[in-house]
């Protein structure tokens, strides 16, 4: 099968200050196959792909594309030579329209002017081929993350790429959109494209992949045909230990109603008359399809979206939450869905990102901030979350996506919130780290805190939550007991007002 080898990476090494991110890693991708790349957060998966794509310069090793040695110096060079990458963290020109984002840097021209008519025609041709229903003139910032992800996929395909890397492509997609993505991937595979697929979702990997390579701590661990690997074996290879249960045993006991949301209606979004309650010590799930209003509900409660109407109360006392600052004072915390855009402070280090929302906790005599207590708090959450980082001084933007998420969760836990609002808290996080986050959520509930959690992963909602409020078309479609419901019942409610 050597003649079918499309891409070969041999002995790749890459170091950053204080950490060896890749240590002699090799990967072989055959033409017309889907090759899954798996490992815990910080295992080196994305770093390896960034070395291929020209974002990072490798320290050692060789890369061959169709038998020719390559060493791309930029992502543009990679794209021009048939290697594309759909990144986990979307980096798009949000103020520009869909067409601009797809053809940026290679606009079709007529003389010295951009040929808008051809650009529209070419965009529609790609969309028709991929069965994507998006207006090419729509401004990117007005679109949900899932549609923006599809635009990014269309852009990769538009380069007629030989190799396409998908880095956590389904982390913001609904089940229906995942099915659509798999159709696209199967079509590309049939054309002879080599697909490298990075994901933490075991069921997806087993379903879509031909081969699986597992990495751990920057090193290659194993490469096997997907059909030969059971989920338990993949987990053992990834984490280096057995992980028998996906979710911790539920030990929390919900108490009295603490939070009431009544007739919540959005000023500039589709929320209409949303009402529900949440108890002390309860983990309440918010389910629904993309654009159902789940994220808008959390952001309206937290005061970063303008409400047209509605009452929020704690212990039957009105709670206005007109801004994020006021919400934090009232004991609320919000973990946002898009960590790069609205979560991390990329230019700051891990300690600064951890303590930034709880600086009063470290104030001494009203004059200065205690570095000692900042270090202690930061170290506590690095240890509790098993965050992989060389030191507290490491810039957060250099961490893997999952490790960034752990830092942000630690930041909000330091504010000691009474109500924790979590929007896709385990998005892009590996199976071992997910368990640790579930345990932290459960510990908060055991302390009497109220947790409201949005997730697109149905098994996660069923495994972690006590009750699930299902949203559809900006309204509450129903409420179910997580212990006595099914995925089918939830999906039926989610489609109620679509």
Q: Which CATH number fits domain 2-239: 3.40.50.300, 3.10.450.50, 3.40.50.720, 3.40.50.1980?
A: 3.40.50.300
Decide if 252 contacts 446 (C-beta within 8 A).
Answer: yes
Superfamily designation of domain 257-494: P-loop containing nucleotide triphosphate hydrolases (3.40.50.300)
What pLDDT, on a 0 to 100 scale, did the predictor assign at position 374? 95
Using the predicted structure, report yes or no on whether residue 272 has a pLDDT greater than 70: yes
Using the predicted structure, report yes or no on whether residue 486 has a pLDDT greater than 80: yes
Question: How large is the average pLDDT for residues 239-260?
Answer: 85
Token pair, residue 410, equals 């630690």
Alpha-carbon gap, residue 381 to 410, rounded angstroms: 6
For 161, 164, 311, 315, the CA distances from 3, given in Å and listed in that order, are: 19, 19, 66, 69
What pLDDT, on a 0 to 100 scale, did the predictor assign at position 453? 97
Confidence of residue 415 (pLDDT cuts 50, 70, 90): confident
Alpha-carbon gap, residue 22 to 220, rounded angstroms: 9
Question: Would you say the CATH fold of 257-494 matches that of 2-239?
Answer: yes
What pLDDT, on a 0 to 100 scale, did the predictor assign at position 233? 86
Using the predicted structure, report yes or no on whether residue 95 has a pLDDT greater than 60: yes
For residue range 167-192, list pLDDT tens digits in order: 888 876 777 888 888 999 999 999 99
Using the predicted structure, report yes or no on whether residue 37 has a pLDDT greater than 60: yes
Alpha-carbon gap, residue 403 to 40, rounded angstroms: 10
pTM over the 0.75 mark:
no
Question: How large is the average pLDDT for residues 278-304?
Answer: 93
Token pair, residue 56, equals 């990072």
What pLDDT, on a 0 to 100 scale, did the predictor assign at position 403? 84
Using the predicted structure, report yes or no on whether residue 338 has a pLDDT greater than 70: no
Confidence of residue 226 (pLDDT cuts 50, 70, 90): very high
Count CA within 13 A, CB hemisphere, residue 42. Answer: 22
**Tell me, what DSSP letter sits at residue 270?**
-
What pLDDT, on a 0 to 100 scale, did the predictor assign at position 340? 62
Q: Which of 40, 38, 43, 45 is nearest to 430 (CA)?
A: 40
For residue range 376-407, list pLDDT tens digits in order: 999 998 988 788 888 999 999 888 777 888 88
The residue ranges of every structural domain in the chain are 2-239, 257-494
Poorest-confidence range of 168-172, 375-379, 484-488, 490-494?
168-172
What pLDDT, on a 0 to 100 scale, did the predictor assign at position 110? 86
**Between 44 and 301, residue with greater pLDDT:** 301
What pLDDT, on a 0 to 100 scale, did the predictor assign at position 2? 56
Beta pairing partners, 420: 333, 451
What pLDDT, on a 0 to 100 scale, did the predictor assign at position 175? 77
For residue range 421-480, list pLDDT tens digits in order: 999 888 767 777 788 889 889 999 999 999 999 998 888 999 999 999 999 999 999 999
Decide if 13 contacts 59 (C-beta within 8 A).
Answer: yes
For residue range 1-19, list pLDDT tens digits in order: 455 899 999 999 998 776 7
Ramachandran quadrant class, 394 (left: phi over 0; alpha: psi -120 to 50; beta: rest): beta
The whole-chain average pLDDT of the chain stands at: 89
């Amino acid at each position: 099968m050597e003649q079918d080898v499309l891409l070969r990476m041999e002995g790749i090494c890459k170091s950053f200050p204080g950490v060896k991110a890749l240590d002699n890693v090799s990967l072989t991708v055959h033409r017309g196959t889907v090759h899954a790349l798996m490992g815990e957060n910080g295992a080196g998966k994305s770093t390896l792909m960034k070395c291929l794509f020209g974002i990072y310069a490798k320290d050692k090793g060789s890369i061959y594309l169709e038998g020719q040695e390559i060493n791309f110096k930029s992502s543009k060079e990679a794209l021009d030579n048939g290697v594309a990458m759909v990144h986990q963290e979307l980096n798009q020109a949000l103020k520009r329209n869909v067409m601009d984002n797809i053809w940026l840097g290679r606009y079709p021209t007529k003389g010295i002017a951009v040929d808008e008519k051809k650009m529209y025609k070419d965009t529609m041709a790609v969309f028709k081929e991929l069965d994507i229903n998006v207006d090419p003139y729509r401004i990117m910032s007005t679109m949900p993350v899932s549609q923006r992800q599809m635009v990014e996929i269309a852009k990769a395909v538009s380069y007629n790429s030989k190799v396409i890397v998908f880095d956590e492509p389904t982390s913001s997609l609904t089940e229906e959109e995942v099915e659509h993505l798999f159709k696209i991937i199967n079509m590309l595979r049939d054309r002879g494209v080599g697909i490298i697929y990075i994901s933490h979702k075991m069921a997806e990997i087993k379903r879509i992949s031909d081969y699986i390579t597992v990495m751990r701590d920057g090193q290659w661990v194993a490469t096997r045909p997907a059909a030969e690997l059971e989920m338990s074996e993949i987990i053992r290879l990834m984490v280096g230990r057995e992980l028998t249960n996906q979710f911790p045993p539920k030990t929390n006991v919900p108490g009295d109603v603490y939070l009431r949301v009544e007739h919540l209606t959005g000023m500039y979004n589709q929320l209409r008359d949303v009402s529900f309650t949440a108890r002390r010590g309860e983990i309440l799930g918010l389910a629904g399809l993309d654009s159902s209003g789940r994220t808008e509900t959390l952001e309206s409660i937290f005061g970063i979206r303008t409400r047209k109407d509605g009452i929020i109360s704690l212990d039957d006392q009105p709670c206005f939450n007109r801004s994020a600052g006021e919400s934090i004072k009232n004991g609320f915390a919000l973990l946002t869905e898009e960590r790069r855009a609205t979560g991390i402070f990329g230019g700051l280090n891990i300690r600064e990102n951890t303590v930034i929302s709880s600086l009063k906790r470290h104030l001494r005599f009203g004059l200065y901030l205690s570095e000692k207590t900042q270090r202690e708090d930061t170290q506590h959450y690095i240890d509790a979350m098993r965050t992989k980082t060389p030191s507290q001084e490491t810039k957060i933007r250099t961490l893997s996506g999952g490790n960034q998420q752990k830092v942000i969760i630690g930041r909000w836990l330091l504010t000691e919130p009474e109500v924790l609002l979590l929007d896709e808290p385990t998005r892009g996080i590996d199976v071992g780290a997910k368990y640790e986050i579930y345990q932290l959520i459960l510990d908060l509930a055991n302390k009497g805190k109220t947790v409201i959690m949005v997730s697109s992963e149905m098994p996660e909602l069923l495994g972690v939550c006590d009750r699930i409020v299902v949203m559809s078309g900006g309204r509450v479609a129903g409420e179910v007991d997580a212990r006595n419901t099914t995925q089918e019942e939830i999906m039926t409610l989610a489609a109620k007002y679509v």
